[in-house]
Copies of this chain bind each other. A is one copy, B any other.
């Protein structure tokens, strides 16, 4: 069990670690331009991973992790200077400070397994983030959040009040300076506006192996079909239900002995594992969404 002091030391050790993520139309010279830019500022590249969809005119994706003295104070200057390089190559890009933990809002309904997994991994130091608050459309998990000293906000969904609950949620996540929203078995659809505003920053866990079992009750569907593997899917939320870019999936073997209840039990293990992995990759700036797909750098 990592203490707060231990976690603080980890953040401190990462204070000069930067992560640059770039996506742009491919052409020769991009890596050279970026690596030269970083070298001229004294950065040492620790990891870099680059992918092009097609050597002839595809899309270029890059993640560079580097060490640079006094990065926190120099970051805004570097961003301003990099904008020139970025413009030249039509880049979409961002610079993230590894030492500044991202802040999560976890949206829940009644099931606790995904929430608990995130809380535990965060405390253990395995999830490099802060859990800023939990928002529930039911009050059931308030005791869980309280146990772990995380603020819980109960925003019920009254009939006809959808717009209102969305507004309350938006206000809360703003107030808590949230970077990413995690739908941890949150059984309710968000409004298109909300989703657009948080594009590529809302992660959902679908309790089925997409695209096999879209919609409700995927485990009942899986049981009915007699599949031999069940799975779960973490994806970014888009306006079209269950169709957003897939971040991670995993499966477990099942057989004729398992009833729907067993599949749900086994499914809970997959769901929390897959969701936690997707959230970890997001907060470590490993994911670039492009169209309806993701590039996940290892």
Contact = CB atoms under 8 A, between A and B. Distances in A.
Main DSSP-derived SS at the A contact region: mixed
A160 interface: no
A248 interface: yes
Contact of A268 (B38, B45, B55, B126): B126
A249 B227 contact: yes
Given A50-B48, A231-B229, A249-B229, A124 B113 contact: yes
Contacts of A273: 269
Contacts of A295: 256
A12 interface: no
A96 interface: no
Interface in A246-285: 246-251, 255-257, 265, 268-269, 273
A227 B206 CA distance: 13
A296 B111 contact: no
A208 to B, nearest CB: 10
Contact of A256 (B211, B249, B255, B294): B294
Given A28-B45, A44-B52, A126-B268, 16 more contacts: A1-B140, A28-B39, A32-B39, A36-B36, A45-B52, A49-B49, A49-B50, A55-B67, A61-B256, A211-B213, A211-B225, A226-B245, A227-B246, A255-B296, A256-B294, A269-B273
